[in-house]
Amino acid sequence: MKKTYTQSQRENLENKLIDAFKDEMNTLSEELQQILADDLITAFQNRITVFQRIQTKAKLLTPKP
């Protein structure tokens, strides 16, 4: 199951990431901060999708009593 975010939700997540990593990202321009935050959101979405697939396959392979 792949969840997609609306543009508004994605911007909200970007702002939260930028705020959460403010100290680490303060040397970057605003544009680079937004690019990095967007990349982190995409990476997180992809990772969650992989874990969901792994979990689904594990459930299918687990013998039922």
Greater pLDDT, 5 or 21: 21
The sign one gets for the Cα dihedral 52, 10, 18, 25 is positive
Global pTM value: 0.77
**What tokens does 34 get?**
């937004």
Domain segments of the chain: what residues? 7-61
**What tokens does 26 get?**
């303060």
CA nearest 34: which of 18, 19, 46?
18
Over residues 25-54, the pLDDT tens digits come to 999 999 999 999 999 999 999 999 999 999
